[in-house]
Amino acid sequence: MPETQAVRVRFAPSPTGTLHLGGARTAIYNWAFARNKGGSFILRIDDTDLTRSTPENVQQILQALTWLGLDWDEGPTLDGPVLGDAGPYFQTERATTGGYDVALQKMIDSNACYQCFCTPQQLDTQREAARAAGGSTGYARTCRNLSPEEVQANLDAGMPFVWRLRVPDGRSVTLHDLVRGTIEFPTTALDDLVLVRSNGLPTYNFASTIDDADMGITHIIRGDDHLSNTPKQLLIFEALAAADGTTVVPEFAHLSMIYGDDGKKLSKRHGAVGVEEFAAMGFLPDALLNGLALLGWSLDAETTMITPEELKEHFSLDRISKNPARFDLAKMEHINSLYIQAMTADQFVSAMTPWLIDADLTTAADIEARKDWYLELAPLVSERIKLMTEVVPLTSFLFVDELEIDEKARVKALEKDPETVKTVLTAAVAAIEGIEDFTVENIDATLKQLPAELDLKPRVVFQAIRVAISGSLISPPLFESMHLLGRDRTLQRLNAI
């Protein structure tokens, strides 16, 4: 492939489910590679599995990609028109444009395929017999050398047939994989696979290859579950190229799979695996993008945090790891916390807005009206959470009228020694009432003296106050919380115990 040719890569999900982490990572690598090379990132929907593909899944996939911050140059869009002129971008639609028929004719012209009249039942019994004998279970090439007369006779008899690839003998197919290096596949181990079914529809390996050829894909970056398919597709590409002289054989890069913590292929059994689930869990898109990108790719020995911009700038296929990676939720959460902490107060207010509104704690109008108050709250929260979902439990006490006190907190901090608690809270009320200007500094200066004055441990004093005002043993810093709550509500809560 000439160096000057513009890079065109594609992500071709099957809408039989929502976008999961493995697919997301494949999409990220394709996207990053295209952006790095100044090429095009194409989204194609491989929806030929009619029974399991749904429009809802398509929508969800588009949404998930968008949420992750991936943009594509060609393909369907969420609300707008279809991008690009190499469409259609749904495989089911491509079946009706005649592209597959044209390709099949090319294959026929170059004698790269032949008609096979074996019935599925015949093939089954053959396979079974071969398995029992311990030999190869591949197609026995029964119809490979039928004479034109025999073929014609079968056709005249109305026998259904499939088109099979004529896999060349006595050679091997060489794949120069951009991730795994040069791999040789002896053709003896390759079946004369079916290209077109008896119902006239192309099989996956054929359709996918034609689509990639027709769309001018230059690099196929995909999961290594397709590695064994590659020599077959390479043979098809070669036959197409031999017939038309224009088909470009793309380069390949095979990505190892992502496994769950038990070393098994990531699936629903491992809990959340869908991108939308991670969004709901409170992950930030850039953080998930970052974490996924680093699951099998590295910039160098130390980089843990890499922004989308940096990823686009530095991504390269030769730094993709060959080993399968296990998904580690704890590390992903850590990366997320890094992004949360890196946000400015202003950014964090924007980030927590939907969570607060969804929990019915506040409204967009309130955030607008009391921006300073929210800006004061932001750093208190952002530095102690890993996931955005934690915003709600940590701050709800600031918004509710009726404070609900956590049972454990009540028992531990309030009911163990009610006398002392009463003393503490009474003293706290008095102290607060004596503060002229209710600033964090003044609250701090005044209440700090309380333990000494009461001759009690700071821990006892402040935990009682904390539970009284926040309802929990865990809260943002106490004096800041009081300030955010305001003097009146603080007093009201201290008196309510």
Partner RNA sequence: GCGCCAUUGGAGUAGCGGUUAUCUCGUCAGCCUUUCAAGCUGAAGAACACGGGUUCGAAUCCCGUAUGGCGUACCA
Taking the least distance from each CB to RNA, the nearer of 34 and 194 is 194
What is the smallest separation between the CB atom of 439 and RNA, expressed in angstroms? 14
What is the smallest separation between the CB atom of 24 and RNA, expressed in angstroms? 15
What is the smallest separation between the CB atom of 80 and RNA, expressed in angstroms? 25
Task: Output the CA angle 106-110-111, nearest 5 degrees.
Answer: 115
Segment 200-219, which members bind RNA (CB under 7 A)? 201, 203-205
Segment 4-33, which members bind RNA (CB under 7 A)? 14
CA dist 253 and 223 (Å) reads 8
Segment 155-184, which members bind RNA (CB under 7 A)? 160, 162, 180-181, 183-184
Among residues 440, 436, 439, 490, which one has the least CA distance to residue 465? Answer: 490
Phi/psi at 266 (5° precision): -60, 125
Helix (H) or strand (E) holding 184: strand 181-186
41 beta partners: 9
Taking the least distance from each CB to RNA, the nearer of 368 and 415 is 415
| 334: contact with RNA by CB under 7 A | yes
Taking the least distance from each CB to RNA, the nearer of 345 and 357 is 345
Segment 226-265, which members bind RNA (CB under 7 A)? 226-229, 256-257, 259, 261, 263-265
| 402: contact with RNA by CB under 7 A | no
Segment 119-158, which members bind RNA (CB under 7 A)? 119-120, 123, 127, 134-139
Tokens 């439990």 belong to which residue?
Answer: 393
Q: How many residues bind RNA (CB under 7 A)?
A: 86
In this structure, what token pair is assigned to residue 220? 């196929």
Torsion angle of alpha carbons 265, 321, 26, 277, nearest 10°?
A: 50
| 276: contact with RNA by CB under 7 A | no
| 54: contact with RNA by CB under 7 A | no
Give the range of 29-37, 140-148, 150-158, 223-231 binding RNA by CB under 7 A.
Answer: 223-231
| 478: contact with RNA by CB under 7 A | yes
| 354: contact with RNA by CB under 7 A | no
Tokens 């939308």 belong to which residue?
Answer: 276
446 vs 132, 394, 477, CA distance in Å?
87, 25, 15
What is the smallest separation between the CB atom of 300 and RNA, expressed in angstroms? 6
Segment 56-115, which members bind RNA (CB under 7 A)? 91
**Burial zone of 58 (CB within 10 Å; 0-12 exposed, 13-18 middle, 19+ buried):** middle
Torsion angle of alpha carbons 471, 473, 479, 480, nearest 10°?
A: -80
